[in-house]
Amino acid sequence: MSDISVAVLNQYLTFTLGKEKYGINIVNTREVLEATELTRVPRMPEFMCGVINLRGSVVPVLDLKSKFKMDDGIGSIRNNIIVTEVDDLDGGDGKLTIGIYTDSVQKVLTIEPEDIEAAPKIGIPINTEFIHGMGKVDEEFIILLNINKILNTKDLHIIRTKTEVPSGE
């Protein structure tokens, strides 16, 4: 693997949800948008806020605070949407584009593998299945998410069936 590829694998886009700082690998990140008006879709899971039109594509938007069952007393500020690609485990064509609401987007950080620790089993606000590890930057920990584990096959199936545009339209 080239040095550039290795460097990209160690880069994480950081963002906040409430008082916690999170990161996702930039390999999974397409772009960052300012929060915009959503179109609500009936019978979507509670953590799905709706969809946006991104240059002609329908992109479902996920509220991680709701998915993680976070109650930080702050509520959903929703300043940005991070557009990501996740593995489509529901028989799709490989990748599914989704948006993630965040309270704020911070910056891209390089976090070396030796600076990533396993997630603790207790004291973390979310299911540890969703966590790649805890990245240590200076004296601060950042929860590094495994974006491909956040949605299960059932979630992906619901998202695809509710947001697909019928062929011929």
Asked, for residue 101, whether it belongs to a domain, the answer is yes
Burial (CB < 10 A; 0-12, 13-18, 19+), residue 86, is buried
Residue 7: its pLDDT value, please?
Answer: 63
Residue 130: its pLDDT value, please?
Answer: 87
CATH number of domain containing 112: 2.40.50.180
Asked, for residue 51, whether it belongs to a domain, the answer is yes
Q: Residue 91: phi, psi to the nearest 5?
A: 85, 15
Residue 103: its pLDDT value, please?
Answer: 92
Asked, for residue 169, whether it belongs to a domain, the answer is no
Residue 1: its pLDDT value, please?
Answer: 52
> In what helix (H) or strand (E) does residue 160 lie, and over which residues does it extend?
helix 153-163
Whose CA is closest to 144, among 17, 22, 29? 22
Residue 163: its pLDDT value, please?
Answer: 66
- Which residue range is the domain that position 128 belongs to? 3-163
Asked, for residue 67, whether it belongs to a domain, the answer is yes
Asked, for residue 50, whether it belongs to a domain, the answer is yes
Asked, for residue 90, whether it belongs to a domain, the answer is yes
Here the tokens at position 112 are 């070396």
One DSSP character per residue, 99-133 reads: EEEESEEEEEEE--GGGEEPPPSSS-SS-GGGEEE
Q: Are the C-beta atoms of residues 146 and 131 closer than 8 Å to each other?
A: yes
Asked, for residue 109, whether it belongs to a domain, the answer is yes
Domain count along the chain:
1
Q: Are the C-beta atoms of residues 84 and 150 closer than 8 Å to each other?
A: no
Residue 165: its pLDDT value, please?
Answer: 57
One DSSP character per residue, 1-12 reads: --HHHHHHHTEE
Q: Which residue has the tokens 């947001």?
A: 163
- Each residue's pLDDT, cut to its tens digit, for the chain (169 residues) gives 555 566 668 999 999 998 899 999 999 999 999 988 899 888 888 888 899 999 999 999 999 888 888 776 555 667 899 999 988 765 666 788 999 999 999 999 999 999 999 988 777 667 788 899 999 999 899 999 998 888 877 777 777 776 665 555 4
Tell me, what amino acid is at 162?
K
